[in-house]
Structure formats: structure tokens, C-alpha cells
Amino acid sequence: MRISHPTTDRGDSRVVVVGGGLAGRVTAWRAAQRGLDVTVVEPSDARSASRVAAGMLTPASEAAFGEEPLMEFAVHSAGLYKGFVAELEAASGTDVGHHTTGTLMVAFDRDDLAVLTDLHELQQRLGVPTERLTSRACRKLEPMLAPSVRGGVLAPEDHSVDPRRLLQALAVAGERAGVREVADRAVEVTDGLSVRLAGGGTLEADQVVLAAGCWGNDIALPEPVLPTLRPVKGQLLRTRMPEGSEPLVHRTVRGLVKGSPVYLVPRGDGEIVVGATQEELGHDDSLTVGGLWKILRDARELVPGVTELEVTEACVGLRPGSPDNEPLLGPTRVPGLHLAAGHFRHGVLLTPATGEAMAQALTEGTLPAPARRFSADREDNT
């Protein structure tokens, strides 16, 4: 059942967004731009996956068999990014580190190259521009690649951003648009759409957006409209080249090493993010020697020069995975209660499309056509 939430003429102007990650921040900003009265609830010790993510905008290299509709939505969101970044940077005065040099996917051995070949065929069917490259062509683009690299695929339209800068920009743009923030943790949403806080306060709302990632399941709701979101642990390293050194990589490099994925994402300021594990271990957010060793082992096979990098930070985040690994967006069967959740590996990439979808859901009660498959009230997720 689709719940209609008309515009502010019906008095649905007070919106509380629970969660200050990218999904929550972009929802708040876009809703405030539509004239809604928006409050974001986010604890001061926030643990959102957005603060840890590498920031790859890679619909081509994220393509997976069986996820074609999701990839079409990802391509749609990627197409919004250029205008989205320009608008957000102007609104916030913050550079979000949009890096537009493309992504190079490379294979360590013949089996990995066979996987990339199949992936390239899928990309072609989805209409995603990619180009098969020989090992020599790969090393011409990225001279620091290991000579043993078997070949690769170039995705020139796969870009990246710095998620921490993106979060900061959304927070500033939201504040300038009138978004208020409460540093607390939501513990319950009542039938009357009151949001009860851990600190004892209560926020009254006409509409509530639950965008708390894999911690959303800890919030009591009037009905079980949020399926169990499983935490998927990711460990990664933030590194930097020694001062005065040539760049290790010039674009995002994603590789397969004996079937295991690894990536290096360069920033404009010289930082390189190396990651990441994908572990189904519940809410365990501990950094482990084994996880970090695996990342470095595989990265060294593809780019031996990673051994020269200075480690500046080791990070761990919990991605929110829905039962079908697809996002949950828009109205639920509880009138006025919306979801912006379950983005799993694609939270950064889907940020512009999430903002577009949630703004329409909050003002018109419907999702735009590209997002309708991912409706929060779809039967297989409730």
C-alpha cells in the first residue's frame, strides 16, 4: 500500500530525519529546499558507514549478475552527480573532492581475467561505457601496476568523491537551508509520529524518515516496517605517499586477486584509500590484523609500491544490507513514516538519487520512476 503525503498545504511540514549519514543528510537538505521544516537526529558519537566509505562512484565496476535493476538505478544516480556536486559545493562552499579520472579494473591471474571478461559483457548489456585493455595498456595508464597483471577494463565514467567532505557539505548546506540538528539517539517512533530520544526528550513530527543504517533495527516502531538490516563489516586503510613522491595511482584501481576484490582510491590531496573487507559478523566493529593484512597482501600483488605508503588511519564501518541487498526508499504502511535505508555498498553512489526520491516522497507521497522498484513497502521486504 502506498501512503500519500501531500505538500505542506495539508500541514505535513514537520519532518524528523533519524540518522546523519549520507542518506539522512541528503534527505534533510532536499526536503528543506522543498520548504519543509526539518530536524536531523544524530548522536555526537555517530558511527555511520558514510564516514568510513572509500567514496567510489562506480556503477560499472559494481555491476553484478542478478543486480541489473539496481545497477540501472546506480547509473541514473551517477548521471546526477556532476550537477549535484556543483549545486552542493555552491550551497555549502565546500569542495567534496570529486575525482573524475575514471576507474581501472585489473586482473591478477587468468581466472580473474575471465571474471572481468564476463563483467565487461554485462556492462555492455547495461549500456555502461567500458573498454577492454591488455596488460600493457593497463600499465601504460598506471605505470606502478605489477608486470604480472593480466589485463583489465577501463570505466572512464566511474568517478569518486571524499565521503567525509560530502557529509560536511551536506550538513552545511542543510543548515543554510534551515535544517536543525539534535545530538541524541532516537529510541522510538510512536503511532503519533513522536520521536522519543535516549536523552529523554521528544520531537513531534508530521513525517519521520528512518535513515539510521544498520542501527535502525534498534529503534522501536509502531509496526515492523523495517526489515532486518544486517551489518556488513568493512575494514580499510587511509594512507599517503611520502612527500615529494610521484603518485602511486592516478585513478581508482580496482582489482581481483585470486577472486578477492581490492581497491586503491586516490584523493586530490595525496591520500590513497586502500580497502576493503566484506565480513558478515553482526555488529562487530573491531579492527583485525587478519583483515588489514588481507587488504595489504592483495593490494601489493597489484601495486607493489603500496609498501611505501604511510598509514594515516585504519577504519572499520558497518554497511547496512537489506534482505535483497537493495535500498528501501519512501513511504511505508505506517502513515507518515518513511525509510531511506539498506544502501549496502552503494550509499555514496546513490546519494543524489536518494535525495531526489525522498524529496518527492515527502512532498508528493510518491517515488520518482527510477526509484519505484526500491519502494520501502515492497512486499518481499516487509
Give the domain CATH number at 311.
3.30.9.10
Same domain flag for 140 and 220 = no
DSSP state of 219: S
Question: What integer pLDDT is reported at residue 193 of this predicted model?
Answer: 94
Give dist(CA 91, CA 86) in Å, integer: 9
Same domain flag for 223 and 181 = yes
Same domain flag for 140 and 258 = yes
pLDDT 10s digits, 250-286: 999 999 999 999 999 999 889 999 999 999 999 999 9
pLDDT at 33 over 50: yes
Question: What integer pLDDT is reported at residue 381 of this predicted model?
Answer: 55
Judge whether 334 lies within some domain.
yes
Please say whether the beta carbons of 203 and 197 come within 8 A. Answer: yes
Q: Give the end of a domain, one of 321, 346, 373.
A: 321
Question: What integer pLDDT is reported at residue 19 of this predicted model?
Answer: 96
Same domain flag for 250 and 315 = yes
pLDDT at 8 over 60: no
Give the domain CATH number at 359.
3.50.50.60
Same domain flag for 144 and 269 = yes
Q: Is 218 exposed, middle or buried (0-12, 13-18, 19+ CB in 10 A)?
A: exposed
pLDDT 10s digits, 319-365: 999 999 999 999 999 999 999 999 999 999 999 999 999 999 999 99
Question: What integer pLDDT is reported at residue 62 of this predicted model?
Answer: 79
Same domain flag for 149 and 175 = no
Q: Which residue has the higher pLDDT, 381 or 321?
A: 321
pLDDT 10s digits, 88-135: 999 999 999 999 999 999 999 999 999 999 999 988 888 889 999 999
pLDDT at 9 over 70: no
Same domain flag for 317 and 357 = no
Give dist(CA 213, CA 33) in Å, integer: 23
Domain count, the chain: 2
Range of the domain at 107: 103-156+230-321
Q: Which residue has the higher pLDDT, 9 or 97?
A: 97
Same domain flag for 345 and 311 = no
pLDDT 10s digits, 241-256: 988 888 999 999 999 9
Residue range 51-75: mean pLDDT, rounded: 87
**Which grid cell is 255?**
582489482
Same domain flag for 208 and 252 = no
Same domain flag for 152 and 247 = yes
Please say whether the beta carbons of 229 and 217 come within 8 A. Answer: yes
Question: What integer pLDDT is reported at residue 11 of this predicted model?
Answer: 58
pLDDT at 4 over 50: no
pLDDT 10s digits, 173-215: 999 999 999 999 999 999 999 999 999 999 999 999 999 999 9
pLDDT 10s digits, 145-160: 999 999 999 999 999 9
Report if pTM > 0.85: yes
Question: What is the band of 45 on the pLDDT scale with cuts at 50, 70, 90?
Answer: confident
Question: What integer pLDDT is reported at residue 1 of this predicted model?
Answer: 32
Same domain flag for 254 and 330 = no
Q: Which of 379, 2, 10 is nearest to 206 (CA)?
A: 10
**Sign of the C-alpha dihedral computed for residues 22, 217, 206 and 18 taken in this order:** negative
Q: Give the end of a domain, one of 292, 321, 350.
A: 321
Question: What integer pLDDT is reported at residue 60 of this predicted model?
Answer: 81
